[in-house]
Amino acid sequence: MDSPSAQPVPQDPPQQRRSAPQRRVAITAACLGLVVVVAVVDYLTGVDLSVSLLYLVPVCWCSWSAGRRAGVLVAAASAEAWLTAVLLDGAPIQHPWVLVCNTLTLGGIFTLVATLMATLQGTQAVLEAKVVTRTAKLGREVAERRWAEAQLRQAHAELQRTQMQLIEAAKMEAVGRLAAGVAHEVKNPLMTLGMGTDYFLQRRASSSDEATLLQDMKDAVHRATGIIDLMLDFSKPRPLRLAPEDLNAIAESALGLLRLQLLKQHIEVRRLLDPALPQLPLDRTRIEHVLVNLFTNAVQAMPEGGTLTVRSAFQQAAGTDDSPAVILEVEDSGPGIPHEHLPKVFEPFYTTKPPGQGTGLGLAIVHRILQIHGGSIALGNRPDGGARATLTFNLHPQPPPP
Ligand SMILES: Nc1ncnc2c1ncn2[C@@H]1O[C@H](COP(=O)(O)OP(=O)(O)OP(=O)(O)O)[C@@H](O)[C@H]1O
Ligand SMILES: [Mg+2]
């Protein structure tokens, strides 16, 4: 993730900066005009003190808005205008020096006011600049803190994911060790039992009950051997035999394997297969195994019949890091998966089926097979009922994890 970029302190645009001196000149000119107006009023009212104080308006305005130098200029012009108004007024002057003193005093006061106003304005501008800088700094700090928080949250989520993967890996390792031990201890006796039941089945059984019992025993041995093979394949999958394959064709052949079951349970199959799918590097037997597992789960979820939908599509940005991928969805119209079961369905040996009907290895193996293909599976519920499994096959899969 990119670090938050430092925010520049806001500056006036160049056009605004260029026009500042012109603005000062305009304000000074306006203030000088105002001085003339005050002088005329002063003259007409007979140079009254209260009117003379009006000179402070252009002085204050100019020094506040156009700076100290312009303010002093307007102050001098005001004193000059006052003197002119007095001279034009024609009132008797006691002594010329008094007039000079009055003019200088008035000019001094105006200049002092102008300097004070300009200093005040300067201080305010400095304070404003400080506020702007501090606000910008605070904004940067808040952005940096937010970014750090987001990083922390991401790291935490990553850590949780890694922890889950470690737990999953530990479970798989435990299953692997168990499988190896069970295979070693149980597979040979099972073979002996299997051969024994075969032998007795080939000989004529003394009664039909005996024949049924022998057949049940043979089925049980066959099932137990199958579970051990599944566990072995799950813990130490044999290397993939990849070849360019058409996923639609594999889906068709998996559906073919379940044809009788689908007919028996009155399940309608909807095929929404994209005919323009690109070929994918797949181990055909194992992907067929994946699809048979998913179709079987769907069939088992619809004992009273329903609809099984198989949909495939090519998507430009559905894969890892938004890479192109082929999506295959398997949907059923069964009851769906209860929300609280969803996080556990990929755990080895997690099943909600009655004993003897499910090992709970189906989805764990599906997940493993997709993982070693560099793909993924997501299981959820459709908004209008039933479960949906979404398989994602990257067009250019990354090397599978060890
Ligand atoms: N299509 C589905 N509809 C409803 N529940 C499902 C569906 N697919 C899976 N599940 C739930 O997920 C659980 C785990 O499925 P999984 O295929 O791993 O094992 P299983 O079907 O119980 O046994 P196995 O596949 O080994 O015979 C199931 O027991 C079931 O509760
Ligand atoms: Mg299953």
Question: Tokens in use for 280?
Answer: 């994918």
CB atoms within 10 A of CB 402: 4
Domain end marker among 234, 264, 284: 234
Tell me, what's the pLDDT at 2? 39
Tell me, what's the pLDDT at 47? 73
| Range of weakest confidence among 66-70, 134-138, 215-219, 380-384 | 215-219
Average pLDDT over residues 260-268: 95
Q: pTM for the complete prediction?
A: 0.58
Ligand 1 pocket, residue 337 CB under 6 Å: yes
Ligand 1 pocket, residue 358 CB under 6 Å: yes
Tell me, what's the pLDDT at 1? 38
Whether 11 shows a pLDDT value over 70: the answer reads: no
**CA distances to 7, 248, 287, 288, 316 from 393, in Å:** 42, 13, 11, 14, 12
Ligand 1 pocket, residue 334 CB under 6 Å: yes
Find the 359 Cα to ligand 2 centroid distance in Å.
8
Closest CA to ligand 1's atom 6:
337
The residue ranking higher by pLDDT, 391 or 221, is 391
| Range of weakest confidence among 43-47, 102-106, 318-322 | 318-322
Tell me, what's the pLDDT at 299? 97
Q: How many angstroms separate the CA atoms of 71 and 87, rounded?
A: 24
Q: Both 99 and 210 in a single domain?
A: no
pLDDT per position as a tens digit, 155-173: 999 999 889 878 877 877 7
Ligand positioned closest to the Cα atom of 355: 1
Percent of the chain's residues with pLDDT above 70: 93
The residue ranking higher by pLDDT, 187 or 333, is 333
The residue ranking higher by pLDDT, 392 or 20, is 392
Neighbours of ion ligand 2 (CB under 5 A): 297, 362
Tell me, what's the pLDDT at 170? 81
Tell me, what's the pLDDT at 402? 54
Q: Give the closest residue to 56 by CA, choosing from 87, 27, 77, 86.
A: 77
The CATH number covering residue 198 comes to: 1.10.287.130
Find the 55 Cα to ligand 2 centroid distance in Å.
97
Whether 16 shows a pLDDT value over 70: the answer reads: no
Q: Both 211 and 276 in a single domain?
A: no
Please indicate, yes or no, if residue 96 is contained in any of the structural domains.
yes
Residue 76 banded pLDDT, cuts 50, 70, 90? very high
Whether 129 shows a pLDDT value over 90: the answer reads: yes
Query: For 38, how many CA atoms within 13 A lie in the half-sphere containing its CB?
Result: 27
Q: Both 334 and 303 in a single domain?
A: yes
Phi, psi of 329 (to 5 degrees): -115, 140
Average pLDDT over residues 119-147: 95
Probe target for ligand 1 pocket from 329, 345, 370, 379, with the most ligand atoms within 8 Å of CB: 345
Q: Both 50 and 103 in a single domain?
A: yes
Residues listed for the chain: 402
The H-or-E segment that residue 48 falls in is none
The residue ranking higher by pLDDT, 134 or 348, is 134
Ligand 1 pocket, residue 352 CB under 6 Å: yes
Tell me, what's the pLDDT at 3? 41
The amino acid that residue 322 corresponds to is D
Top-confidence range, 87-96, 179-188, 324-333: 324-333
Please indicate, yes or no, if residue 8 is contained in any of the structural domains.
no
Q: Both 106 and 28 in a single domain?
A: yes
Residue whose entry in the numeric block shows the structure tokens 């530990």: 170
Tell me, what's the pLDDT at 361? 87
Q: How many angstroms separate the CA atoms of 379 and 320, rounded?
A: 17
Q: Both 288 and 377 in a single domain?
A: yes
> If 0-12 CB within 10 Å is exposed, 13-18 middle and 19+ buried, where does residue 256 land?
exposed
Which ligand 1 atom is the nearest neighbour of the CA of 334? Answer: 3
Find the 291 Cα to ligand 2 centroid distance in Å.
11
Which ligand 1 atom is the nearest neighbour of the CA of 330? Answer: 1
Whether 309 shows a pLDDT value over 70: the answer reads: yes
Percent of the chain's residues with pLDDT above 90: 58
Question: Tokens in use for 26?
Answer: 């305009």
Average pLDDT over residues 28-36: 95
Whether 21 shows a pLDDT value over 50: the answer reads: yes
**CA distances to 50, 82, 84, 100 from 88, in Å:** 18, 10, 6, 15
pLDDT per position as a tens digit, 179-216: 777 777 888 888 899 898 888 888 766 677 888 888 88
Tell me, what's the pLDDT at 183? 75
Whether 64 shows a pLDDT value over 50: the answer reads: yes
Closest CA to ligand 1's atom 8:
297
Tell me, what's the pLDDT at 15? 52
Closest CA to ligand 1's atom 19:
360
Q: Both 225 and 248 in a single domain?
A: no
Find the 102 Cα to ligand 1 centroid distance in Å.
106
Q: Both 225 and 83 in a single domain?
A: no
Tell me, what's the pLDDT at 9? 44
Domain end marker among 210, 234, 258: 234
Tell me, what's the pLDDT at 400? 57
Top-confidence range, 15-24, 163-172, 371-380: 371-380
Which ligand 1 atom is the nearest neighbour of the CA of 361? Answer: 26
Contact 54, 40 (CB under 8 A): no
Average pLDDT over residues 252-261: 94
Please indicate, yes or no, if residue 253 is contained in any of the structural domains.
yes
| Total tally of structural domains belonging to the chain | 3
Domain residue limits at 202: 166-234
Phi, psi of 350 (to 5 degrees): -90, 115
| Mean pLDDT across the chain | 87
Question: Tokens in use for 281?
Answer: 């590097």
The CATH number covering residue 353 comes to: 3.30.565.10
Tell me, what's the pLDDT at 7? 43
| Range of weakest confidence among 17-21, 71-75, 213-217, 260-264 | 17-21
Phi, psi of 84 (to 5 degrees): -60, -45
Please indicate, yes or no, if residue 213 is contained in any of the structural domains.
yes
Tell me, what's the pLDDT at 204? 67
Find the 98 Cα to ligand 1 centroid distance in Å.
112
Q: How many angstroms separate the CA atoms of 325 and 201, rounded?
A: 51
Q: Both 381 and 251 in a single domain?
A: yes
Domain end marker among 148, 179, 195: 148
